[in-house]
């Protein structure tokens, strides 16, 4: 068998859509008071409000603080694009 399946297996992935290699690079960050305030400012700047977007804003704030380039895998690509602008590569899931 050739193609993407064998390439994925060569790199230790059982399935071509396997996200484990990306997830192995996940960095855990604390949510500090300063980060929470910055996330609130992101919400305000994006014209979003309410608790529905609080987690998205917190994740966006962390992504924006990371050394570039940054990619963010998310199921909320519209909101994350509003929050991060073009500073973070948004990858919809």
Residue pLDDT, tens place only, 24-55: 877 788 899 999 999 999 999 999 998 889 99
12 shares its domain with 49? no
2 shares its domain with 47? no
Of residues 3 and 59, more confidently modeled: 59
Q: Is the pLDDT of residue 68 over 70?
A: yes
**Domain limits for position 52:** 31-92
87 shares its domain with 44? yes
If you average pLDDT over every residue of the chain, what do you get? 84
* H helix count then E strand count, the chain: 5, 2
Confidence label for 6 from pLDDT (cuts 50, 70 and 90): very low
pTM of the model: 0.72
Q: Is the pLDDT of residue 16 over 70?
A: no
Two tokens at 23? 């997830």
22 shares its domain with 39? no
45 shares its domain with 61? yes
């Amino acid at each position: 068998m050739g193609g993407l399946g064998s390439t994925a297996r060569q790199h230790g992935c059982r399935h071509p859509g396997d996200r484990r290699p990306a997830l192995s690079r996940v960095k855990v960050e604390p949510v500090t008071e300063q980060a929470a305030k910055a996330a609130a400012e992101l919400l305000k700047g994006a014209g979003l409000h309410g608790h529905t977007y609080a987690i998205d804003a917190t994740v966006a704030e962390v992504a924006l603080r990371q050394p570039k380039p940054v990619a963010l895998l998310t199921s909320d690509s519209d909101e994350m694009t509003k929050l991060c602008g073009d500073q973070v590569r948004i990858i919809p899931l």
